[in-house]
A = this chain, B = another copy of it.
Amino acid sequence: MNVKNYVRLEFSSLPENVSFARSCVGAFASQLDCTLEDIEEIKLVVSEAVSNSIIHGYNNDPSQTIEVVVSILENNSLEIIIKDYGRGIENIDQAMEPTYSSDPSRMGLGFTFMRSFMDEMDVVSEPGKGTSVRLLRCFPSQDHRAMA
């Protein structure tokens, strides 16, 4: 699928960058014909994925780097890829299970949110190498909505 527009972000794995990243992706996504609710949902999932990279991927080490690539595809869908080069995930199926968390103080809801609010979610991860989460959200174009 061709890309109509994209932005690639790279930033330190600092907790203050979670809110920056979600706002930034939200601002980019607002190029699409979408509602405020759509933007809120997109911000929510970006927040989850970036937090995961900081907390689980990098174990809160602020000197690491997180990458986010946001693309608007030709069919007006939004693709978001969040990537870290951290610890990686041993058992992806288990990690995606609702309420599963490797950290007893957490709720294990991050992936569930991502899957619920996006149309597609793929996780690629290699222990010791890092994790990449690909999220896709489709937006019917205005004409389609009007017809519906």
Contact = CB atoms under 8 A, between A and B. Distances in A.
Contact of A12 (B5, B9, B14): B5
A23 to B, nearest CB: 5
- Copies of chain A in the complex: 2
Interface in A1-41: 5-12, 14, 16-17, 20, 23-24, 27-28, 31
A7 to B, nearest CB: 4
Contacts of A8: 9-11
Contact of A6 (B5, B12, B27): B12
> Size range of the interface on A?
10 to 19
Nearest to A10: B8
Contacts of A20: 7, 27-28, 31
Given A23-B27, A24-B27, A11 B7 contact: yes
Contacts of A27: 20, 23-24, 27
A5 B16 contact: yes
Contacts of A5: 11-12, 14, 16-17
A11 to B, nearest CB: 4
B6 A11 contact: yes
Contact of A24 (B12, B16, B24, B31): B24
A31 B6 contact: no
Contacts of A12: 5-6
6 contacts: A5-B11, A6-B11, A7-B10, A7-B20, A10-B10, A24-B24
